[in-house]
Structure 1
Amino acid sequence: MSIDPIAFATALINCPSITPARGRVFDLLEEALLPLGFDVHRFVLGEEPDGPTENMVAIRGAGSPHFGFAGHLDIVPPGDGWSSDPFSAVIKDGRLFGRGANDMKSAIAAFVAAIPEQQASGTLSLLITGDEEGYATYGTPRIIDWLNEHGISPDMILIGEPTSVDRLGDTIKIGRRGSVNMWIDVPGTQGHVAYPHRADNPVPKLARVVDALSALHLDDGNDAFPPSNLEFTAISTPTNASNVIPASAEAQLNIRFNNLHKGADLVQLVEDTAAGAAPGTTVRARISGEAFLTPAGELYDLVVSAIQDETGIEPELSTSGGTSDGRFLIQLCPVVDFGLPNATMHKVGESAAVEDIRALSRIYGRVISKAFGA
């Protein structure tokens, strides 16, 4: 059976699968994998707002080595301003356009197209979630639960996230920074602006909190990671009336942190700093994932040599950028991310070069071959 990665990517893009995703887009992947001899396991978990989420574990073969490919079929909302239907893939000027063309349906199509019809030994698996772009409440962590329950443990995992920068193969991700979101609430007493002595304005107090947190120096980074950064992303009050002192004021922030920190410690730091600047302030937090770093080893060598063989490029080993589901999968085994150039991910007009998709499939084919000693 021969699968064309462009045709398969087109079919996947044409299935709207805004996070959390389930249904037809998973049907298409299963239909491609069954003729290749995979046992396909699908399960839907959770309820709104974080679910329902579909996950898939597809396995072929047995024993070692066990090479896993991980990815996600969910996408972010398309947004407005597309020149074509984001859920009807088109090729123009050598590029495939559509939501998910870059992040990361094309990579999944490229990997499936690269799978040989048979393998002499070992285990090949695909770990595919419908909730990477969301909170992952019912996504990859639940896939890990399923693997543990069934006594399945990959030896290494490649994630198909778009990691390349200027050209295919120039960057792979060997780790990721952690991420924590926090919501800071400063209480006050609502009142008329003409009678401030009868109210308690929370806005100046919130301003002191923002100033204190902005002044924090988290770290200078290290050899593997850039410095951690704290960024405010929203400030709001419950009233927009010009003559009302609000009853509360809220700020939202995110910290992207390196492996010098743990998420819980950063939450405590923000709580202590906020309380010092404005007593009575409360902080809610949601840790998306901890920082991780995959040590050098066989997985590095497989991916780097496959890229070099196909492109002649020596890839940069990077930990920059956002998070990926590697933050969960690192619990199982070494993990690296490698995929397409990422300039259009999440943008209006998301696209990928057709030749890059085909070259990525060839690279993935080389990785599979090297993993099984072929």
Structure 2
Amino acid sequence: MAIQELTNDAISLLKQLIETQSFSTEEDQTALHIEAWLKRYEVDYKRTKNNVWAVNKYFDKSKPTLLLNSHHDTVKPNSAYTKDPFKAIVEDGKLYGLGSNDAGGCLVSLIATFTYFYNQENLKYNLVLVASAEEENSGPDGLNSMLKIIPNVNVAIVGEPTLMNLAVAEKGLVVFDAKVMGTPSHAAHPNDNNCIYNSIKVLQWFKDFKFEKGSEALGDVKLTVTQIKAGTQHNAVPADVDLVIDVRVNDAYTNTEIAQILQEKSPCDSITPRSLRLNSSSIPMDHPLVIAGIEIGRTTYGSPTLSDQAVLSCPSLKLGPGDSTRSHSADEFIYLNEIEEGIKIYIELLNRVIA
């Protein structure tokens, strides 16, 4: 199958996806475009809610399985756009439009790669393609919902913009809700237990606290107080202060361990994790995918941003065309030659590992 033909069709598909609104939970129409591609290439596929998925033609249960995954939902466009976010505009080698970089370019490149290998016999790995929904909002009907439906996965490539370098680890995320208590009172009366003043030492504790274990790939755990809320009127001291703490977790800790440490050590009156399911991810440096990527000149790094890797328990590699710094930005774009390069690198990488 000609790679250039796949590349041209992938760019056409991306233009269709850009021009079709697909906010998280609203991906039904972009799913139809993905289905149309697979029908055209005679790929036997299935759809579960807004997730479209397929396995290679000669799937063999005795072989390990490699997941190729990226998402077709988008965030909502911000107010700084100067171009129509729902119009695929090509200028100076750039394809503009909402979702072009995050993660449409990755998605269509992985679909093209899967299609390239779909009819090949005697592959060393099975391939499973999942064009997933609800990645941007970590929703219940995204990739996490597919893991009990698709065949068991041994390793995964998750398509997110990495400039086609190998993100061999990714930080997890735990968001905590915390309270600092005090004594409510009228502002005119003395009060030595003002919760707002009590929160000063708590905020300082969070500012100064360091988790002990670092990571070669991901560095230190990053803890940030991101929200604070207290009081409803000027003349009343409230009973409590609400804090929100964002913790980006390296691969030296599980999310459960992070929660236990903060619940034992923090000076809050209460601190509760919203969810523990978005864990850090990694792949061994001696995995064949990593070795092959290095052999073809790709660099390795640890990623601070969250993706669908967080719901996977198997080794996983984040890899895709585009640049993460463009994600969620105004006038989002991807270079057309990034898609062309991305498809070639995906195919070369897999040829070294599965062919």
State the TM-score, normalizing by the size of structure 2: 0.88
Alpha-carbon distance in 1 for matches of 2:251, 2:80: 39
Amino acid corresponding to residue 78 of structure 1 in structure 2: P
Aligned pairs for 1:223-242 (under 5 A) are 223-239=216-232, 241-242=233-234
2:51 aligned partner: 55
2:30 aligned partner: 25
2:325 aligned partner: 343
| Distance change >3 Å, CA 336–CA 281, structure 1 → 2 | closer
Amino acid corresponding to residue 58 of structure 1 in structure 2: A
Q: Is the 8 A contact 1:189 1:247 kept in 2?
A: yes
2:253 aligned partner: 261
- Which structure 1 residue ranges, 4+ long, deviate > 6 Å from structure 2? none
Structure 1 SS opposite 2:148: helix
Cα deviation 1:206-255 (Å, max 9, x = unaligned): 2222212222121352333311111111111242x333322321111111
Alpha-carbon distance in 1 for matches of 2:79, 2:119: 44
Amino acid corresponding to residue 177 of structure 1 in structure 2: K
1:160 aligned partner: 159
1:317 aligned partner: 300
Amino acid corresponding to residue 52 of structure 2 in structure 1: M
| Deviation of the 1:26 alpha carbon | 0.7
Alpha-carbon distance in 2 for matches of 1:179, 1:339: 21
| Distance change >3 Å, CA 238–CA 58, structure 1 → 2 | farther
Q: Is the 8 A contact 2:182 2:198 kept in 1?
A: no
Alpha-carbon distance in 2 for matches of 1:160, 1:219: 31
Q: Percent identity?
A: 21
Cα deviation 1:314-365 (Å, max 9, x = unaligned): 3221123212222333x24x32111122221111121111111111122223
Aligned pairs for 1:54-93 (under 5 A) are 54-61=50-57, 62-63=59-60, 64=63, 66-93=65-92
Structure 1 SS opposite 2:53: strand
Compare 362-371 and 336-345 and name the one that shifted more.
362-371
Structure 1 SS opposite 2:352: helix
Alpha-carbon distance in 1 for matches of 2:186, 2:241: 16
| Distance change >3 Å, CA 336–CA 201, structure 1 → 2 | same
2:43 aligned partner: 38
Amino acid corresponding to residue 335 of structure 1 in structure 2: S
| Deviation of the 1:38 alpha carbon | 2.4
| Distance change >3 Å, CA 234–CA 136, structure 1 → 2 | same
Alpha-carbon distance in 2 for matches of 1:135, 1:238: 31
1:50 aligned partner: none
Cα deviation 1:112-159 (Å, max 9, x = unaligned): 234327312343321222121112433222111112xxxx23443211
Q: Is the 8 A contact 1:299 1:335 kept in 2?
A: no
Structure 1 SS opposite 2:260: helix
Alpha-carbon distance in 1 for matches of 2:252, 2:153: 27
Q: Is the 8 A contact 1:57 1:143 kept in 2?
A: no
Q: Is the 8 A contact 1:19 1:130 kept in 2?
A: yes
Q: Is the 8 A contact 2:70 2:159 kept in 1?
A: yes
Q: What is the RMSD of the two structures over their aligned residues, measured on CA atoms?
A: 2.3
Amino acid corresponding to residue 95 of structure 2 in structure 1: L
Q: Is the 8 A contact 2:24 2:134 kept in 1?
A: yes
Compare 183-192 and 130-139 and name the one that shifted more.
183-192
Cα deviation 1:269-291 (Å, max 9, x = unaligned): 222333xx35x434343224222
Gaps of 5+ in 2: none
Alpha-carbon distance in 2 for matches of 1:351, 1:364: 20
1:131 aligned partner: 134
Q: Is residue 291 of structure 2 the alignment partner of residue 290 of structure 1?
A: no
| Deviation of the 1:82 alpha carbon | 0.5
2:310 aligned partner: 327
Alpha-carbon distance in 1 for matches of 2:47, 2:18: 20
Alpha-carbon distance in 2 for matches of 1:286, 1:257: 13
Correspondent of 1:370 among 342, 352, 355: 352
Alpha-carbon distance in 2 for matches of 1:292, 1:125: 19
| Distance change >3 Å, CA 37–CA 358, structure 1 → 2 | same
Q: Is the 8 A contact 2:277 2:311 kept in 1?
A: no
Gaps of 5+ in 1: 45-53, 309-313
